A and B are shown apart, each in its own frame.
Chain A
């Protein structure tokens, strides 16, 4: 009975993921400014989130091992860490492909790219540590302890560090409102100059345009290597209308809010991909993809954990032989 249910679940995963692939290419619309490259988000982000879950599960089993010293818990911790690393590599590769299409380079040491690479190195060290110690009990104990330290760094590297960084091409605001998502306020009769990331912006003028408004903002790129006058606008309903591109960058300048009477504007920079999930079809496919990858990871974890449990169970036989 249990076996039949498990088999049914695996077949559902297979069909579910096939449907996700179909929807990724043929159901969700193209995103303006990203073209078909935007579709990769359906794979890229869920794999990164599954990485987080897998590493957390690994840490949980390491804690269990340290408390009870059951070999099976250590095997489960390794299996979860391996699944997490597999998905982490997958997220990195898909992100790199996206970066090549949209930013023009596979790797540009963007804060999030750098932090995920550091995370991969931290877990590579976990596997290296395991393989460098012959004594089984010592290996398990040290690896479990190291795994806890590795897990502590994970949320900082995946969630905090990329958002603390001032300059990132990553469209953070597409998913979670972060500290850099609200933009900056500029005043005609006060603080005209502000900083978005490492770009200096200065409000030059603000005029009414129909029911909306248009601002003229001078942007100065780091080191003054480029300056430009951009004129973002906002329509009568408060939605961004014109979103001019930064010089030599794929960022766009957006007028988030404008009050012509008092001469106050709020401007922000948008990376490609910002607002991607505001489309309902994209959002539902994205959520379905998260679910699909989560169950796929659980299946992978079960297979790998079973193999490791078998290895552990066979160990006494090998000693006797």
Chain B
């Protein structure tokens, strides 16, 4: 293990570690980007939400004459 920290080797180890981290970050970003683009497409294909309809009621009072009784 200590051979990895030798003066001549350490810089290659550091570079390899940085590259591995970057490849991981890149792969993650690629995946998140692809998923968000897909979500965006799906969202664009959905119909626009309709405006909410408020419940309404009307009370009518009719006399018997009005009812035709």
Q: Give residues in A with beta carbon < 8 Å to B.
A: 3, 10, 13-14, 17-18, 21-22, 24-26, 36, 299-300, 302-303, 306-307, 309-310, 313-314, 316-317, 319-320
Contact = CB atoms under 8 A, between A and B. Distances in A.
Contact of B49 (A14, A22, A320): A320
Contacts, number: 55
B26 A310 contact: no
A26 B33 contact: no
Nearest to B19: A21
A21 B15 contact: yes
Given A309-B40, A313-B43, A320-B49, 18 more contacts: A10-B30, A14-B26, A17-B26, A21-B19, A25-B12, A25-B14, A26-B11, A26-B12, A26-B15, A299-B29, A302-B33, A303-B29, A303-B32, A306-B36, A306-B37, A306-B40, A310-B39, A317-B49
Contacts of B52: 319-320
Contacts of B33: 10, 299, 302-303
Interface residues of B, number: 21
Given A36-B11, A306-B36, A317-B49, A25 B18 contact: yes
B14 to A, nearest CB: 6
A22 B22 contact: no
A38 to B, nearest CB: 13
* Interface of A: prevailing SS: helix
Given A36-B11, A299-B29, A303-B29, A18 B39 contact: no
B43 A303 contact: no
Contacts of B39: 310
Interface in B13-67: 14-15, 18-19, 22-23, 26, 29-30, 32-33, 36-37, 39-40, 43, 49-50, 52
Contact of B15 (A10, A25, A302, A309): A25
A79 to B, nearest CB: 12
Q: 9 tightest A-B contacts by CB?
A: A25-B15, A316-B49, A306-B36, A14-B26, A21-B18, A303-B33, A25-B11, A310-B39, A21-B19
Contacts of B36: 303, 306-307, 310
Contacts of A21: 15, 18-19, 22
B60 to A, nearest CB: 31
Nearest to A319: B52
A297 to B, nearest CB: 12
Query: Which one of B11, B30, B33, B39 has the highest number of Cβ atoms from chain A below 10 Å of its Cβ?
Result: B33
